[in-house]
Amino acid sequence: MLGECCFPYLVPGTNGRNAGGVELYSIILIVEVSLGPVISLVIFNSRKPKSELVRDYTLIAVVQLSALVYGLYAVALSRPVFTVFVKDRIEIVTPLELDEQDLLNASTKYQSLSWTGPISVCTEPPTNPQEKSALLFSGIAGKDMQFFPKYYRECREGEILSKSFDRERLDTVLKQKSDEEQIYTLPEGDFTWLPARNRFSTWIELYPVDRSESFYLPINPFF
């Protein structure tokens, strides 16, 4: 049985957790909680006239509000909007990584960016030789297929699972890792898996054969 009770490093709900938004939101909370009290202690002086204290605390409120607005804006730009299956891996894409013109070139359903969770899509590579060549050079420059919504399409039933890797291959990957990373003993039961990544990290997504929910293993299968 897969689950957090027996394997604490196996965590359900991979896509949102690994996008970096939780960490960023935590930083914002820490800054907001500490910014006001710390500055207040620094500027407080009982000898100051009331008008100066009101002015100073008004400035503090403005600084805190500005920091909050900027922080929430940064979190919004870092939210996952698409989970894109590309050939043999899952790519998590955020608004920061998508150009407005590329969104306009996509089909209507993929032009808007979700606020309620990432949309799972698959990709259809171009068949035009010139477009294939352009995409190849773009990928070399760091902008691969997952950043072009015009190549997005709905996944066929069972498409992702049919292209996932078997357990034996993951056993081989883990044997090549360092001793420290080999603490991630694989759970019992059959499953398949795929690499998943975003701009912050890479991990392994597990698909148990007897459960509909996927889990992730926080280990990079590429290195």
pLDDT by residue (tens digit) across 25-34? Answer: 677 777 767 7
> What pLDDT shows up at residue 9?
45
Structure tokens given for 43: 């500027």
Question: What confidence score (pLDDT) does residue 18 get?
Answer: 52
Could you give the angle at the alpha carbon of 135 between the alpha carbons of 119 and 169, nearest 5°?
A: 65
Q: What CA–CA distance (Å, rounded) separates 63 from 68?
A: 9
What's residue 108's pLDDT?
A: 94
Predicted confidence at residue 17, as pLDDT, reads 47
pLDDT of residue 167: 87
Residue 22 has what pLDDT? Answer: 62
In the prediction, which pLDDT does 106 show?
95
Q: Give residue 1's pLDDT.
A: 39
Q: Packing angle between helix 50-78 and helix 21-43, nearest 10 degrees?
A: 170
Residues near 52 by Cβ (< 8 Å), separated by ≥ 6? none
Q: Indicate the helix (H) or strand (E) that contains 22.
A: helix 21-43
- Most confident range (mean pLDDT) of 50-64, 67-81, 99-113 is 99-113
Q: What is the pTM of this model?
A: 0.77
For residue 155, is pLDDT > 50? yes
